[in-house]
Amino acid sequence: MRKRTKVTIDPKYILIVIVVICVALIFVSFKFEDKMAPLRSVVGNAVTPMQRGINSIGAKISEVMEYVTSLEKLVKENNELKEEIDSLSAENKLLQQDKYELENFRKLYSLDEQYAGYPKVTARVVSSDGDNWANSFIIDKGSDDGLAVNMNVMAGDGLVGIITKVNKSYSKVRSIIDDASSVAGTFLKTSDSCFVSGNLQLANQGIIEITDIDGTADIKDGYAVVTSQISNKYLPGILIGYAKDLKKDSTNITQRGYLTPAADFSKLNMVLVITQVKDSEDLEEMLDK
């Protein structure tokens, strides 16, 4: 027979106590976020180094797994790809024209200087969110490396997300495909403003929503959307992605559509953190006037 520990309190009451404590904790951490920071950093500092280690092993394993499982697929894919190359090379020429055009437009909006002028820091993605509901991840740089909350995070040339929490040696990034994320954007070509908001239902397809575009805006699928001047957290002019499936709302006053992000969220290893926080106080002052 198993020995029972001699606890005389009914677990029922312990459950009630825990529930009460949890509810209190929720309120406390909601009201006084700073007060909970020490607890977070104790756990985080202990866990993130281990995660970093395992993550590198995991990356290797998934590489090997991919290699083994995809061998058959690769042969088939190879044939398909060869066919695709032909069509792509044709498309590429078109795109190059587009790129030239895009560069022109960047110069026009004098975004080019700003874009290259932002000071950046490279960081490695340590771990991703532990559940299937949110899209956030941890990077291996923190306040010691000069990072702060609200700094913008990019991968390649596209916006990835924003830092929502900073600790000494690591920080948490909420990606723009997260359900709670919403970014004020603007169409590069027409300067029409819009909102780019993540949506869990679409996240798996790798697309996000754009809403609140002016109904009269002359926009087409494939137009680039960048972060807007009016955003109070995102620096202006960072490429978010390309619009698609645009259509009028039933009210005819606004348009909505989807957006393919410029950053590849399925394979995030290294990200760039722009170590410049948007000074939104100026903006708020301006808005008050």
Binding site for another protein (CB under 8 A): 2, 5, 7, 11, 14-15, 18-19, 21-26, 28-30, 36, 39-40, 42-44, 47, 50-51, 54-55, 57-59, 61-62, 65, 126-134, 136, 138, 164, 172, 179-180, 200-201, 204
Minimum Å distance from CB 40 to another protein? 5
Q: Which is nearer to another protein, 191 or 204 (CB)?
A: 204
Minimum Å distance from CB 289 to another protein? 33
Minimum Å distance from CB 141 to another protein? 16
- Report whether 210 contacts 196 (CB < 8 A): yes
The letter for the amino acid at 151 is M
Q: Which two tokens stand for residue 107?
A: 């110069």
Q: Which is nearer to another protein, 26 or 85 (CB)?
A: 26
Minimum Å distance from CB 195 to another protein? 15
Q: Which is nearer to another protein, 11 or 117 (CB)?
A: 11
The 10 Å Cβ neighbour count of residue 208 is 26
Strand runs labelled E in 85-238: 120-128, 136-139, 152-155, 158-166, 171-175, 182-187, 193-197, 208-214, 224-227
Minimum Å distance from CB 232 to another protein? 19
- Report whether 260 contacts 178 (CB < 8 A): no
The 10 Å Cβ neighbour count of residue 239 is 23
Q: Which is nearer to another protein, 189 or 256 (CB)?
A: 256
**Distance separating alpha carbons of residues 278 and 289, to the nearest angstrom:** 19
Q: Which is nearer to another protein, 34 or 281 (CB)?
A: 34
**Distance separating alpha carbons of residues 174 and 221, to the nearest angstrom:** 27
Q: Which two tokens stand for residue 139?
A: 């990077």
Q: Which is nearer to another protein, 40 or 244 (CB)?
A: 40
> Left (φ > 0), alpha (ψ -120 to 50) or beta: where does 8 sit?
alpha
Minimum Å distance from CB 88 to another protein? 27
